[in-house]
Structure 1
Amino acid sequence: MERLMSSSISSKTHFKSSIFVPPIAHFEPKRVGFRQTWLSKAPVRCSLMGSGSADVGEASVVKKMESNDGIGALSTASDSYSALKIKEWEVERFQDEIASCQGIRIRRRPPTGPPSHYVGPFEFRLQNEGNTPRNILEEIVWNKDKELRERKPLYMLKKSLENAPPTRDFVGALRASYARTGLPALIAEVKKASPSRGVLRENFNPVEIAQAYEKGGAACLSVLTDEKYFQGSFENLEAIRNAGIKCPLLCKEFVIDAWQIYYARVKGADAILLIAAILPDLDIKYMIKICKMFGLAALVEVHDERELDRVLGIDGIELIGINNRNLETFEVDISNIKKLLEGDRGEMIRQKDIIVVGESGLFNPNDVSYVQEAGVRAVLVGESLVKQNDPGQGIASLFGKDISL
């Protein structure tokens, strides 16, 4: 880590000594363009225009650049930009290493070689694993990273938050439904398509489906917002909220950046999905804090033991979704929930009073009973409901009884 964060950076002319990079504790996230990078709050030691080493801040560097003739300033600006791109690349590699150490196999973006001026360790200069996604989840994440580079700046979203509708109690709605029916609370999903099943419903009207779910007894709703792979949208989320649906709404998105949480809140979400398979622990902690700041619930999704252990080590978790579907292969195994909730993990969840949400592969009353016996207090169901002519009646078929009020 020390070598990675403090490798020296050379330039052709004006940067005659290496740029000093402070310890990682001195870094804070800043937005450059539409992506997050790390810029130092501590002074930067550099040599500009042959003046020798000095501790200078950002303003001093700018002032020094402005004091020279146009050509010199442009050259220094170019060198500064190269140095920044190199540092961004190094930090991205550092973040990838952290994710890998936590068992995260999904790469955040296509791997690339270093910038042209990079003169760090030789093995880093050679590294380039190719730009082909290894599975469907990685492909979705890479596409999401590309989408985010084209979005509005965060400061514009912050202004829009003033007009966002108030949040509803997502967790409270699940607890109330479970207490009322004695059955797992239903999070019914508004979902048109999926990468594994294709289009699930041709005559897709998100508002009508949401209304049918609410009438059928759903405690909360989940709305797919990914456009490319699930044919969803944030406009669907907004339309459902504006239609007067009383059920709290979960934004079902592949979240990789805090920007998406802000946007979901603007569009009327009451809860947000965070997927442990694509988010390092620090990102999950950071995003949970943002959710709490907005009054949003965070449903943290896991698939295997390692992901569950990571999430159980994070404070402030109220909802854990256990997905029976492996998002790398899209294969489904309903026994996955039972396996993860056995032994010490299940006991820890009960002690912390965490609501476990069963996800994927649930089609009939036997499936619901199976996961309830394993320790589930809520279920998230989409495909088996949305394919029904009457999605509301599909809820009664799923539970084997009418659970509406």
Structure 2
Amino acid sequence: MTSTGTVLDDIIAGVREDMAERRSRVSDAALKRLAAQVAPALDARAAIAGDGATMGLIAEVKRASPSKGELAEITDPAELAAVYAAAGAGAVSVLTEGRRFRGSLADLDAVRRRVEIPVLRKDFVVDPYQVHEARAHGADLVLLIVAALDDDALRSLYELIGELGMQALVETHTPQELERALDLGAGIIGVNARDLKTLDVDLERAATLLGQIPAGPLAIGESAVAGREDVVAYAEAGADAVLVGEALVTGADPAGAARSFRTVPRRPRGPLAPSTTTKGSDA
């Protein structure tokens, strides 16, 4: 895989090393058997979209980040996820990358056992092993970062996610990446306000990109949310939902913040295309 010239390169190198260690303990064949034994994936897209009147929310369990370092000492990710669900989140995002974000698959397991809403495995997915791993640990939604993948890898991973009954949140940062996501036929497209080279966030740039997403895909605004006014800005740009971690885990009242974000009116961008999930959503 070619270099991206961004922070992704070092992160993905570490991800591959850690994956190799897990693979030495659990083979591809064993992992596939485990994945086949879990309950069918939930329809994350429908859960996040909600009734369409107000902004959807993917609330994140996030301890740290490369840009900010330590954020929160989350000793009970399952309890935090339950708070998010009770506050109206449509899905819970769980970081499973350990080196930079201090996440783990154990966090994913704990959250999956606790909540009945869809769960996103948020990691730097570059190999089919990670997709089977996500399913084996109960994920319903898997993050694919367009910048980290060439066209062949992006499509093959996207198709595998669908074959396993899950859905993909396809994350973009630039117009070129958005075009690739649209060419893929992605049903859930994220626009991340963070610049991968500088790690700075620019909500205005993200808003411009969101405005280029046609009716059909579910559009998710990512990063740059410090308060309700930023969720309003994303809504005005055409986002259907936001993915928020830092503002929730560092605030004194994550439940109150989540409820506040959920009350922001959504500006219709056009009719959403039907969900393509083939598995039952009541599993």
Q: Same fold (TM over 0.5)?
A: yes
Q: Residue 235 in 1 paired to residue 106 in 2?
A: yes
Q: Residue 362 in 1 paired to residue 209 in 2?
A: no
Q: 1:203 to 1:340 in 2, by over 3 A?
A: closer
Shift of 1:399: 5.2
Asked if structure 1 preserves the Cα contact closer than 8 Å seen for 2:72 and 2:250, the reply is: yes
Asked if structure 1 preserves the Cα contact closer than 8 Å seen for 2:144 and 2:168, the reply is: yes
Q: Residue 302 in 1 paired to residue 176 in 2?
A: no
Instruction: Flag structure 1 segments of 5+ consecutive residues without an equivalent.
Output: 1-94, 97-104, 107-133
Report the equivalent of 2:188.
319
TM-score (norm 2): 0.87
Shift of 1:397: 4.2
Aligned equivalents of 1:199 and 1:393: distance in 2?
22
Report the equivalent of 1:284.
154
| SS of residue in 1 equivalent to 2:103 | coil
Report the equivalent of 1:394.
257
- Structure ID, larger Rg: 1
Q: Residue 375 in 1 paired to residue 241 in 2?
A: no
Q: 1:282-330: CA deviations, max 9, x gaps?
A: 1111111111111101000000111111221123x10000000113321
Aligned equivalents of 1:281 and 1:184: distance in 2?
31
| Matched residue count | 261
Return the letter of the residue paired with 2:252.
Answer: N
Q: 1:216-241: CA deviations, max 9, x gaps?
A: 11111100000111000011001111
After the TM superposition, which of the residue ranges 289-298 and 363-372 deviates more from structure 2?
363-372
Q: Residue 156 in 1 paired to residue 30 in 2?
A: yes
Q: 1:1-55: CA deviations, max 9, x gaps?
A: xxxxxxxxxxxxxxxxxxxxxxxxxxxxxxxxxxxxxxxxxxxxxxxxxxxxxxx
Asked if structure 2 preserves the Cα contact closer than 8 Å seen for 1:365 and 1:400, the reply is: no
Report the equivalent of 2:281.
none
Instruction: Give the structure, 1 or 2, with the largest relative contact order (CA under 8 Å, sep 6 or more).
Output: 2
Aligned equivalents of 1:292 and 1:398: distance in 2?
29
Q: Residue 168 in 1 paired to residue 34 in 2?
A: no
Shift of 1:149: 2.3
Report the equivalent of 2:128.
258
Report the equivalent of 2:273.
none
Aligned equivalents of 1:361 and 1:341: distance in 2?
14
Asked if structure 1 preserves the Cα contact closer than 8 Å seen for 2:57 and 2:261, the reply is: no
Return the letter of the residue paired with 1:302.
Answer: T
Asked if structure 1 preserves the Cα contact closer than 8 Å seen for 2:191 and 2:210, the reply is: no
Instruction: Flag structure 2 segments of 5+ consecutive residues without an equivalent.
Output: 265-283
Q: 1:174-217: CA deviations, max 9, x gaps?
A: 222x42xx222000001111111122112532011101101111
Which of 213, 217, 223 is 2:94 aligned to?
Answer: 223
Shift of 1:372: 0.9
TM-score (norm 1): 0.62
Q: 1:71-108: CA deviations, max 9, x gaps?
A: xxxxxxxxxxxxxxxxxxxxxxxx54xxxxxxxx52xx
RMSD: 1.7
Q: Percent identity?
A: 36
The equivalences for 1:6-405 within 5 A come to 96=2, 105-106=3-4, 135-150=6-21, 151=23, 152-176=26-50, 178-179=51-52, 182-243=53-114, 245-315=115-185, 317-342=186-211, 345-346=212-213, 349-350=214-215, 353-398=216-261
